[in-house]
Structure 1
Amino acid sequence: MNTNNEEASLDQVLRETNELLNKLDSIKEKSSISESKSLKEPKQEYKKMPGNHREVNTQETRSIVLLGVILLLAFLALILQVASEGNKAENTVTGEIEGEKTKLLENPDNDKSSRPTTDPSSSSQEQVYFTGIDLLVTNNLCNKKGNFCIYGLASLVTSEKGSANYKFEDTAKGESVTIRGMIEILNINKEPDGTRTFSFSFRDNQAETTSGWAAAGHFMIDKNAKQPGIMSRFQTSESFGPKTPVGLENTSYLFPR
């Protein structure tokens, strides 16, 4: 009787022990699974984080390098533009100066083109015709009064070398004045059709000119529709005396002789 009770009690203890062990095993298994998850997750996160970090850094580096290249190109373009504008400004100033110089020396609005022609009424004397002037230019041109003459202008134009001479003699402000000098070619522009455009200079001979009256400058011939004759103009750009200041212009109307 007691033996049966003891066996029953022993069986009960074994069953309870097995149940307790099973519970412990279940708890241990859950704990192991939880630890495994907790261990795996940080590793996965640890693996992903560096990869993401490197990817972000690479993109940022490329963006910075690209921005740097763009800024460098923009800076170089700015330098080239400034240099170009500087050269352009310098070229513009130089062009204006040369333009003024050319205009002053050549006077394209005043100097007339010419071509050598022969007057059938007088083949022994050189004569040239200037466009816009209805009189032939000869080697002897004088004003009506005869106190101012130019000699050798036709030969100068025909040969394109040498010089022509002029002489003025008159009384001015109670003083007897004599002016002698020469005319030379400054420049000739030749067109394909044979047309020539001349610019001339003049210079008084100081040794043969009354003191205070000598000068030098630009000589031009033209036509005035209101006045007969060949209009000659002497514009002073250099003065050797107070009677002929810089900027003074003397005009005479000449006729061939």
Structure 2
Amino acid sequence: SRSHEAAVEMNLCPSVMIASVGRRAARSVRVVGSRRLFASSTVGEKTQSYIDQEDKFNARNYSPLPVVLKVGKGCRVWDVEDNEYLDFLSAYSAVNQGHSHPRILAALQDQAGKLTLTSRAFYNDVLGTYAEYMTGLFGYDRILPMNTGVEAGETAVKLARRWGYDVKGIPDHQAKIVFASGNFWGRTIGAISSSTDPSSYTRFGPFVPGFELVPYNDLEALEAKLASDPTIAGFMVEPIQGEAGVVVPDDGYMRQVKEICKRHNVLLIADE
């Protein structure tokens, strides 16, 4: 037992990092090939009961670590056995503000006490303020908020195709979108149609047509692809790839990508 010490090996491909820090923690993350194994003493009775319940009634499309979390505060989380951990995953960045942030909780409670949801069938008194703030922060003309990242990606593809037909003059049903190899932007049919990861697309076809690939961080390949095909409407790319590891492109890559897209009249879609 290593009291008050974090023991963690970092898995560099699909990343899950949890560091045990609590008094009772004597656990570490161990990686074998591409699988994540949680080396520990026998799983507690309470933990096992929750795992059994979830495995029985919930679709098993993930292979989570045998830790059942119950509460979080900031960067720390606790499991049902009262072990304490540092959360390095942050729900794949969706909780990068930390768990149970008091200002966010206060805002949620305040709004829930006033008005739950209007849909886009009506105006409301907060969306305009939010849109004005976001456009000013990023220098945009307008925004279209989405619930999830994959919804944003799907909408960007739709927008690029419509723009390709209405503005660029691409013949109907011929618009193409180019993606970088190693991409990950979700698990919808659209997203996996651009994937190069067999675990994402195997036995889910047929796939969405009109999606093509170039190597990530390869400006020459992108230039050649866009120069050779006037029916390309957009290029979607992650400034830093996450699911493929943590792949950082060469300095100036995104700036030159923008210049290439502009030169060939292709919309640039930055996935995060």
TM range (shorter): under 0.3
* Structure with the bigger percentage of strand: 1
Q: Which protein shows a greater Rg?
A: 1
Q: Which has the higher helix share?
A: 1
The TM-score normalised by the length of structure 1 is 0.24
Q: What TM-score comes out, normalization by structure 2 length?
A: 0.23
